[in-house]
Amino acid sequence: MIPDFGTVAGLFQVTALDYAGNHDGEVTYELGLESAGALSFSAA
């Protein structure tokens, strides 16, 4: 889902997942995806 834009739907595979943060604070993450087939888009 892309806020104020639309939704991309389909099969995806995770190619990267990195996360970091302090034990008593915020967590940040980065996620890499690749499409694993045909995609569809629905406007918001």
pLDDT of the residue at 6:
87
* 21 phi, psi to nearest 5 deg: 160, 165
Q: In this structure, is residue 26 part of a structural domain?
A: yes
Q: Are 33 and 15 in contact (CB under 8 A)?
A: yes
Q: Are 41 and 10 in contact (CB under 8 A)?
A: no
pLDDT per residue as tens digits for the range 14-26: 999 999 999 899 9
Q: In this structure, is residue 43 part of a structural domain?
A: no
Q: In this structure, is residue 31 part of a structural domain?
A: yes
pLDDT of the residue at 1:
61
Task: Walk along the chain (44 residues) in steps of 10 and give the mean pLDDT of each run.
Answer: 83 96 93 93 88
Integer angstrom CA distances of residue 12 from 9, 18, 41, 44: 9, 17, 14, 21
Question: What is the residue range of 31's domain?
Answer: 11-38
pLDDT of the residue at 32:
96
Q: Per the structure, how many domains does the chain have?
A: 1
Q: Please state the pTM of the whole predicted model.
A: 0.58
